Amino acid sequence: MKKQLSKLKSLRIENKLSQKKLADILGTTNSSVCDWECGRAEPDIEMLIKIAKTFQVSVDYILGLED
């Protein structure tokens, strides 16, 4: 799971998004984004799909199953 969290944070930073801005795009809270990045929580499958679509990557990439 740690790899997923680092990929999410890396994608967010690469796209120059704050946690708040990403949360607004995804329709969630900035505390949720922070929890995902810090490993306190995991996004559900629907949110993983939203994240992948937002950054135009596959869910497998987010999960660390492909580079």
Give domain limits for the chain.
2-63
Specify the CATH number for 2-63; select among 1.10.10.10, 1.10.260.40, 3.30.1360.200, 1.10.357.10: 1.10.260.40
Q: What is the pLDDT of residues 13-64, one digit of tens each?
A: 999 999 999 999 999 999 999 999 988 898 999 999 999 999 999 999 988 8
DSSP the chain: -HHHHHHHHHHHHHTT--HHHHHHHHTS-HHHHHHHHHTS----HHHHHHHHHHHT--HHHHHTS--
What is this structure's pTM? 0.87
